[in-house]
Structure 1
Amino acid sequence: MNGEASLPQQRADSNPASTSVEPRRPSFLTSHGIHTMRAHNRALSAAALISLAVGRVALGGGATFEYIPNAISANDMSPDGRFVVGSLTSLVEGEEVIYRTYRWDRVSGTILVLPQPGFSAVAVSDDGTVIAGDILDPETNAEVAAIWHLATNEWTALGGLPTGLLCPSRSNSYEISGDGSVVVGLAWADGCKGRAFRWTEATGMVQLELLANDGNRASVANAAGSFVGGFAQGTQSRTPAVWTVDGGMTIDPTATAVGEVFGMNDAGSIVLGTMDGKAVKWTNNLTVQTQLGNGSLMAGWVGTPMDVAGNGTIVGFDRLGPSRRAWIQVGGTGPLLNLKSYLEGNGLSFPTNMIIGICQAISIDGSTIVGHGATGGNGAWIATIDAEPLCPTDIDPPGGDGVIDGSDLGSMLGFWGPCPGCEADFNGDGTVDGDDLGTLLGTWGVCAGAPGACCFGSGCAQLTQGECAAAGGTFLGAYSPCNPTICDNNDLCADAIDITAKINGGPILADNSAATPGQFGGEDTDLPEGSPTCQWALEPWAAHNSIWYRFEAPGNGIVSVAICDVDFPVTANDTLVALYSGECGSLVEVWCAEDGCLDQEYNSVLQFAYGLEPGGTYYLCIMNSGGWFGSLPGTFAFSITSP
Structure 2
Amino acid sequence: MNKILANCISLGIGLGAIGVSFPAQAASFQGLGDLPGGIFNSQAYGVSANGSVVVGRGNSANGFEASRWTQETGMVGVGNSPIMRYAWGVSADGSVVVGEGYNFIANGPEALRWTQQTGIVRLGDLSGGSFDSRAWGTSADGSVVVGVGNSANGQYEAFRWTQATGMVGLGDLPGGSFSSWAYRVSADGSIIVGYSNSANGQEAFRWTQGTGMVGLGDLSGGSFNSLAWGISADGSVVVGYGSSANGTEASRWTQGTGMVGLGDLSGGDFYSFAYGVSGDGSVVVGYSSSANGNEAFIWNSTQGMRSLKEVLTNDYGLNLTGWTLTGADGISADGLTVVGRGINPSGNSEAWIARLDAQNNQSVPEPSSILGLGLFSLVGFLIKKRS
Which residue, 312, 319, 334 being the options, matches 1:349? 319
Match of 1:313 in 2: 283
Structure 1 stretches lacking a partner, 5+ long = 1-60, 92-96, 391-397, 401-643
Match of 1:125 in 2: 91
Match of 2:132 in 1: 170
Structure 1 CA distance for aligned equivalents of residues 133 and 196 of structure 2: 17
Q: Which secondary structure does the structure 2 equivalent of 1:198 belong to?
A: strand
1:336 aligns with 2:298: no
1:180 aligns with 2:152: no
Q: Which secondary structure does the structure 2 equivalent of 1:336 belong to?
A: strand
Report how far residue 190 of structure 1 moved. 2.8
Structure 2 CA distance for aligned equivalents of residues 267 and 240 of structure 1: 18
Structure 2 CA distance for aligned equivalents of residues 124 and 280 of structure 1: 23
Which residue, 223, 226, 229 being the options, matches 1:262? 229
**Alpha carbons 1:297, 1:336 under 8 Å: kept:** no
What amino acid is the match of 1:200?
T
Structure 1 CA distance for aligned equivalents of residues 187 and 157 of structure 2: 22
Which structure 2 residues correspond to residues 213-232 of structure 1 after superposition, within 5 A? 213=176, 214-232=178-196
What amino acid is the match of 2:307?
N
Match of 1:386 in 2: 357
Report how far residue 187 of structure 1 moved. 0.9
Q: TM-score, normalised to structure 2's length?
A: 0.74
Report how far residue 156 of structure 1 moved. 1.1
Match of 1:150 in 2: 116
Which one has a bigger Cα radius of gyration? 1
Structure 1 CA distance for aligned equivalents of residues 138 and 368 of structure 2: 37
1:271 aligns with 2:238: yes
Structure 2 CA distance for aligned equivalents of residues 286 and 241 of structure 1: 16
Q: In structure 2, do the counterparts of structure 1 residues 192 and 234 end up closer, same or farther at CA, with 3 Å as the change threshold? A: closer
Match of 1:102 in 2: 67
Structure 2 CA distance for aligned equivalents of residues 159 and 269 of structure 1: 30
Report how far residue 69 of structure 1 moved. 1.0
Structure 2 CA distance for aligned equivalents of residues 131 and 302 of structure 1: 30
Match of 1:136 in 2: 102
Q: In structure 2, do the counterparts of structure 1 residues 131 and 296 end up closer, same or farther at CA, with 3 Å as the change threshold? A: same
Q: Which secondary structure does the structure 2 equivalent of 1:162 belong to?
A: coil
Q: Which secondary structure does the structure 2 equivalent of 1:266 belong to?
A: coil
Q: Which secondary structure does the structure 2 equivalent of 1:342 belong to?
A: helix
Q: In structure 2, do the counterparts of structure 1 residues 297 and 259 end up closer, same or farther at CA, with 3 Å as the change threshold? A: farther
**Alpha carbons 2:32, 2:69 under 8 Å: kept:** no
Which structure 2 residues correspond to residues 67-466 of structure 1 after superposition, within 5 A? 67-70=31-34, 72-91=42-61, 97-106=62-71, 108-116=72-80, 117=82, 118-152=84-118, 154-164=119-129, 167=130, 169-190=131-152, 193-212=155-174, 213=176, 214-235=178-199, 237-246=201-210, 247-252=212-217, 257-276=224-243, 277-283=248-254, 285=255, 287-292=257-262, 294-295=263-264, 300-310=269-279, 312-319=282-289, 324-329=294-299, 331-345=300-314, 346-351=316-321, 354-376=323-345, 377-387=348-358, 399=368
Structure 2 CA distance for aligned equivalents of residues 76 and 298 of structure 1: 28
Q: Which has the higher contact order (CA 8 A, sep 6+)?
A: 2
What amino acid is the match of 1:383?
A
Q: 1:88-112: CA deviations, max 9, x gaps?
A: 1132xxxxx5432222122x34444
Which is strand-richer, 1 or 2? 2
Structure 2 CA distance for aligned equivalents of residues 389 and 372 of structure 1: 23
Report how far residue 374 of structure 1 moved. 2.8
Q: RMSD of aligned C-alpha atoms? A: 2.9
Structure 2 CA distance for aligned equivalents of residues 349 and 180 of structure 1: 36
Report how far residue 113 of structure 1 moved. 2.0
**Alpha carbons 1:86, 1:121 under 8 Å: kept:** yes
Structure 2 CA distance for aligned equivalents of residues 326 and 115 of structure 1: 29
Q: Which secondary structure does the structure 1 equivalent of 2:44 belong to?
A: coil
Q: Which secondary structure does the structure 2 equivalent of 1:257 belong to?
A: coil
Structure 2 CA distance for aligned equivalents of residues 209 and 365 of structure 1: 33
Q: TM-score, normalised to structure 1's length?
A: 0.46
Report how far residue 237 of structure 1 moved. 4.5
Q: Which secondary structure does the structure 2 equivalent of 1:306 belong to?
A: strand
